[in-house]
Structure 1
């Protein structure tokens, strides 16, 4: 084994192996869904999402104050790539072919078939949003497919492979989450 330096412009990739996500939002009848690679935990019950200024969905998030983080499965990769490659500016009917639904009390589109959905209320921070395109949201509601997430735990080992979450690692490369393994709490600890 050799320990080698990592180019600093690519060092973030060492951490960014979380699930590929999609973000949806809606305001005043206008709605959208986009792919999002940089979404993560921002603290207890909080999500941080990078939403670039070029994204149509960003304007909807800014105006409504809400967004939904979707955790898609391996069987949904065509949908993820589709919403990531197509803008509503050039494809106004982009959402027509998506299997969308709405949860009671939340008028935000959600894509069917995901492993989980997190409704987030924006915690305003104009400095972070304008200078770094980072939005923090408080999770105000969440749902999961109980075939892969039940009683607060992922259970991928018991689920079909097509329901595994997918992880983007750069350059068009994705991995489906692997098999779970339990470890002891350290050497000499039972």
Structure 2
């Protein structure tokens, strides 16, 4: 619990210094960045995830399972979103898991990719540093994920040992943050990986 409180505090601090480094140059770039940020922050998590081609597998699963409605609501979440390539790397198991017939199994896996509150990569890095190298958080699926840092990458490890890295820019939404990740943080249920 101490770790979760520390990460929550770090998240609030991290959100108070939002994306200042995103603007790379003159006033014109800064205005464009502000406009883009304003546009993103008025859109919900469901909308920003649906707008990313590399996150289409998860977006489709959320829509079919009714989770998109949750992410259109007022709550605040951080979604660790596996990229399409994460499913491709699973081969046949990934194809089976993302098949419409297996949406319940995929949704069960995805619940362990949802964290309460809106986090930033900087807030996670700060919490890792303040907690001697790792920090745990409880997922909406009831398991925990552990954040660590190796070199300049933030690694996320699921309760079953599955690992991924934060991969690319976090996407800010009005009700949270979507963080693309390189893999799944929970192995698929056996019924999801066998053809019926």
State the TM-score, normalizing by the size of structure 2: 0.26
User: Which structure shows the bigger proportion of residues in strand conformation?
Assistant: 1
User: Which structure shows the bigger proportion of residues in helix conformation?
Assistant: 2
Larger radius of gyration: 1
State the TM-score, normalizing by the size of structure 1: 0.26
